[in-house]
Amino acid sequence: GISVQCQIPFYVSTKLAKMRESFTVPTPDVFAKLGVKFIGHNDPVVSPYWVHGVMGYVMNHLPTFVVTNIIMSMHMTTRRRGLKKDRKNKSE
């Protein structure tokens, strides 16, 4: 009787992620409390934070190229910020 469940988060506000808490970004405590409530549910894959569940549903129903473009845009923005920070640190 071993059950396995995958809990899928989107962004969670952590020091490492450097994201602030918002409507779509819960704190680690909020996400953990919700995650514990989902333990034992029959679904093998869940999104404990309801906003993440809605986001996942929408992404699953969009064409792949649209989702890929959205995700790539987010990562490119993060990369640009990182490169800008690196240039600033080099010049100091």
How does pLDDT run across 17-65, given as a tens digit for each residue?
778 899 999 999 999 999 999 998 888 999 999 999 999 999 999 999 9
58-81: average pLDDT: 93
pLDDT classification of 1: cutoffs 50, 70, 90: confident
User: What pLDDT shows up at residue 26?
Assistant: 95
Cβ-based neighbours of 39, under 8 Å, separated by 6 or more: 5
User: What pLDDT shows up at residue 72?
Assistant: 95
Q: Given phi > 0 = left and psi -120 to 50 = alpha, else beta, which region is 18?
A: left
User: What pLDDT shows up at residue 78?
Assistant: 86
